[in-house]
Structure 1
Amino acid sequence: MLAAAPPALPHTTDDTTLLIAVLLSIAAIVLLITRLKLHPFLALTLGSGLLAAVAGAPFDKLTSSFATGFGATVSGVGLLIGLGAMLGKLLADSGGANIIADTVLARSGRRALPWAMALIAAVLGLPLFFEVGVVLLVPIVLLVARRGNIPLLRIGIPALAGLSVLHGLVPPHPGPLVAVDALKADLGITLALGLLIAVPTLVIAGPLFARVAERWVGPLELPAETTPAEAERPERTPRFGAVLATILLPVALMLGKALVDVVIDDPKATLQRIFDFVGSPLIALLAATLLGMLTLGRAAGFDKARISRTVEKSLAPIAGIVFIVGAGGGFKQTLIDVGVGNAVSVWSSKWHISALLLGWLIAVLIRLATGSATVATITAAGIVAPLAVGMSSTHAALLVLAIGAGSLFFSHVNDAGFWLVKEYFGMTVGQTVKSWSVMETVISVVAIALILPLSLII
């Protein structure tokens, strides 16, 4: 259970002062991250203190909301991020990712390869963080481009799109998880709707846009081929069916819970109680991680000690992510407690702007300023959280997806992902903007274009 929020901090009732407090705090966070290169955790912490101070909170209460929000977010989301990292590391080290890729590619013709790469990226993107997915997929993309004499971007863009769409729209990735928590949305419904939006978005931003990007950028020279060290290879590889079942298990359990909740709708029913338990995010990811130790680790010839080391090594790289997410939760709680959320509710009603569009726009602005999709999602979710009160479960889920879509808008030079893609694909800054940055914008715009009309139907 998440910790209860503290009583709202005393603050001025002047909405203008609240607006100034929000703008100053966000500007401070942006400057600290982009100009002073301060870690986002520290920037969000200082920004929260500035927000509370400008909003008129007593000096001895400046950090109370931040600490409560940090603890609540880490306790609710940190465990899931940790389990997802463990599963992703097992998938990578066991060779399971290569098995998925090799199997799909072996059954694809030349014309179908862009679609196959999008499918591979989407499947692998379910349990993997974006950066890990890029590291795993780029060698496969380069290998396929060489063997098939295919332009690099024709298959590279679909692979990147698959990873990015899943990263922004589908739990259990950190951004969507935090937004689900902040908006009190149903995770199963968010997951189902996220997959529904993700499929057409991936088709447009992946294989279809790849043709356009290929013409804009022109031919790219393939980087020199590298061969992984023998010591990094597992003794044997797991089976394709076992790998796929392990990856899809948490998705199936969470979707099953959402379906049973809709069909049965009786909290006392035994079947619904069972699915409520096994379909909860913590249990679903825990089950997949434990299963992965057998279907991935043991199947790759890992002994108990190596499985333990693999799981242990998975946690160190995510420490920064957990702290950023926690600090975002603290900033979100401070926004709520000083009264910013209520003010946003009033402003949105005066402006007659859709909550979904407002959430998307706020996420877009923060993404452009900070370069971080996770920071954009966390901050936007905190600002619009009061608008989700009283929403139906489907509309709350769509608000989560709208914010996630906005957080992907136009990645540029202040985003680490921009430089990661640039270096791996050997592109110039201009070529990266024409391909990667525009692809991210296409994902964001297509997703919100699908979300808004869908909100009128369901």
Structure 2
Amino acid sequence: MSSIFAISIATAAIAAVVILIARLRINPFIVLFSVSIALALVAGMPADKVVGSFEAGAGHVLGHVGTVIALGTMLGKMLAESGGADRIALTISQLSGRRRVDWAMMLIGLLIGLPVFFEVGFVLLIPLAFVLAERTDTPLLRVALPMGAALSITHALIPPHPAALLALGAYHANIGMTILLGVLIGAPIAIIAGPLFGRFAASRVIPIGVNPLAEQFVNSEPPSSLPGFGVTVLTILSPVFLMLIGSLSEGFIAPHTFLGTFLHFIGNTDIALLLATVLSFYVLGQARGFSRETILRFTNECLGPTALIMLLVGAGGGFGRVLVDSGVSKAITDAALGVHMPLLVLAWMLAAIVRVACGSSTVAMATASGIVAPILARSSGVSPELMVLVTGAGSVAFGPMNDAGFWQMKEYLGLTVPQTLRTWSVLETLIAVFGLVFCLLASIFIH
């Protein structure tokens, strides 16, 4: 398959998704499924392999993200119904002031995002964003976008996230220096893509219609009696602590021992969220006077509005898998390799291309670092730590529609596809571009 043909059909597929959803108002899941099938057939993929490829991609993504969304939504519902979200929102607004809640959400996102995946941090914090926006009379985008920017930056730039660790190993970079440079470079990017862009976007993009997810997380009036700040924060941070324990245990406890296996097990993303959700049933449920029947009703009710999100996340994964299995992704990547350019720029561009081609920032970072690492080994004068950071920056570029995060942002924030492109996709591109710029500037002083 020629590179020009691959780029053409990929571009046509993306344009078709935007037009069919935004202009013709066709169900997004039907559109993603249909366009994925059409793209695979046009690319020459055998007809008997097409549906299987889409199903494999959708199942792979939903196997992880679906569980995270379900458990995170239940935890968020308990946080909202108990008044825990109101307690945190009240405390944050008192400490930061109503005019700086977006800066507060950025800082919270940076802290929460360090040990957890983007999807996990998002479902943990989005209920808080809803409540904080409502109680402080702040546009939701102004609160949610800085949070999303912070989570995305920590996911892509700062170890111990798996993709960053893969790149770290491929480039033989020093983890301590990578974390230090990641914080120094990531902080100004978070400010630009977070509060600054969030305020700009919130004044120009207004969500239209009723957002059922916002309605279920925000009560018209906060409960008369709110839970304590400490117990509420402990509950929402418990999965973060468990994941940290599981991650750190690998460096201090011998593998395959009972204790090592146990800590690794409870540090698993799904298990940590499950334990935190069950904890919330008591701490924010029964201890607050809710009956078991009421808690059951809360957990059943909250899952309804997430059904479309799960379908769209799965369809996005299917779309990305079809791009890979049909050979479109490889043809586009091969074209990039034929262009001679500085290593930092090459790593960034390859990561960005794979990101657009398959949707996953983790796959983009792992693929790009695997391709560029042998070239770096034969070169000199380029910092391995900056190579990790610039690859991570490229891996979040463009916020494409075959990424689960695109559909999460669209549905949770009540946006249309064009509005999501103008907000989330632009935000992700800002992170990518400024990441490249800052790494190039740093390379003048760091070799």
Considering the TM-score relative to the shorter chain, is it more than 0.5? yes
Native 8 Å contact 1:255 1:279 kept in 2: yes
Aligned match of 2:328: 340
Native 8 Å contact 1:82 1:315 kept in 2: yes
- The Cα shift of 1:281 comes to 0.8
Aligned match of 1:251: 240
CA distance in 1, matches of 2:232, 2:274: 16
- For 1:139, which of 130, 134, 141 is the aligned residue? 134
2:275 maps to a residue whose letter is A
- The Cα shift of 1:385 comes to 7.0
CA distance in 1, matches of 2:278, 2:182: 25
CA distance in 2, matches of 1:309, 1:103: 29
Aligned match of 1:90: 78
Aligned match of 1:21: 9
- The Cα shift of 1:205 comes to 4.7
Aligned match of 2:61: 73
- For 2:337, which of 330, 349, 361 is the aligned residue? 349
Aligned match of 1:330: 318
CA distance in 1, matches of 2:286, 2:425: 40
Native 8 Å contact 2:33 2:319 kept in 1: yes
CA distance in 2, matches of 1:362, 1:229: 38
Distance of aligned partners of 1:53 and 1:185 in 2 relative to their CA distance in 1, 3 Å threshold: farther
Identity %: 34
Distance of aligned partners of 1:342 and 1:61 in 2 relative to their CA distance in 1, 3 Å threshold: same
CA distance in 2, matches of 1:330, 1:387: 21
CA distance in 2, matches of 1:377, 1:396: 20
Distance of aligned partners of 1:445 and 1:70 in 2 relative to their CA distance in 1, 3 Å threshold: same
Distance of aligned partners of 1:441 and 1:129 in 2 relative to their CA distance in 1, 3 Å threshold: farther
- For 2:399, which of 407, 411, 424 is the aligned residue? 407
Aligned match of 1:43: 31
Native 8 Å contact 2:145 2:198 kept in 1: no
1:289 lines up with 2:284 in the alignment: no
Distance of aligned partners of 1:390 and 1:421 in 2 relative to their CA distance in 1, 3 Å threshold: closer
Aligned match of 1:4: none
- For 2:298, which of 310, 314, 317 is the aligned residue? 310
CA deviation digits over 1:323-353, x for unaligned, max 9? 1111111112211211223323322321245
1:165 lines up with 2:157 in the alignment: no
1:239 lines up with 2:228 in the alignment: yes
2:334 maps to a residue whose letter is V
CA distance in 1, matches of 2:18, 2:321: 19
CA distance in 2, matches of 1:437, 1:260: 36
Distance of aligned partners of 1:131 and 1:288 in 2 relative to their CA distance in 1, 3 Å threshold: closer
Distance of aligned partners of 1:355 and 1:298 in 2 relative to their CA distance in 1, 3 Å threshold: farther
CA distance in 2, matches of 1:210, 1:269: 47
Native 8 Å contact 2:93 2:136 kept in 1: no
- The Cα shift of 1:287 comes to 1.2
- The Cα shift of 1:115 comes to 4.5
- The Cα shift of 1:361 comes to 6.5
CA distance in 2, matches of 1:389, 1:451: 19
- For 1:57, which of 38, 45, 48 is the aligned residue? 45
Which runs of 5 or more structure 2 residues have no equivalent in the other structure? Answer: 114-120, 156-160, 169-174, 205-216, 374-384, 402-408
| Segment of structure 1 superposing worse, 317-326 or 14-23 | 14-23
Distance of aligned partners of 1:204 and 1:61 in 2 relative to their CA distance in 1, 3 Å threshold: closer
- The Cα shift of 1:193 comes to 10
CA deviation digits over 1:21-74, x for unaligned, max 9? 323322322322232222332222112111111111233333121122222221
Aligned match of 1:372: none
CA distance in 2, matches of 1:91, 1:454: 42
CA distance in 1, matches of 2:148, 2:218: 29
Native 8 Å contact 1:237 1:299 kept in 2: no
Native 8 Å contact 1:408 1:444 kept in 2: no
CA distance in 1, matches of 2:358, 2:289: 40
TM-score relative to the length of structure 1:
0.66
Distance of aligned partners of 1:115 and 1:343 in 2 relative to their CA distance in 1, 3 Å threshold: closer
Native 8 Å contact 2:399 2:428 kept in 1: no
- The Cα shift of 1:454 comes to 9.1
Q: 1:389-428, aligned counterparts within 5 Å?
A: 402-404=394-396, 406-407=398-399
1:238 maps to a residue whose letter is P
Native 8 Å contact 1:236 1:300 kept in 2: no
Q: 1:174-253, aligned counterparts within 5 Å?
A: 196=183, 199-206=187-194, 233-234=222-223, 236-253=225-242
Which runs of 5 or more structure 1 residues have no equivalent in the other structure? Answer: 1-12, 143-151, 172-178, 218-227, 367-375, 410-414, 423-428
Native 8 Å contact 1:95 1:234 kept in 2: yes
1:378 lines up with 2:367 in the alignment: no
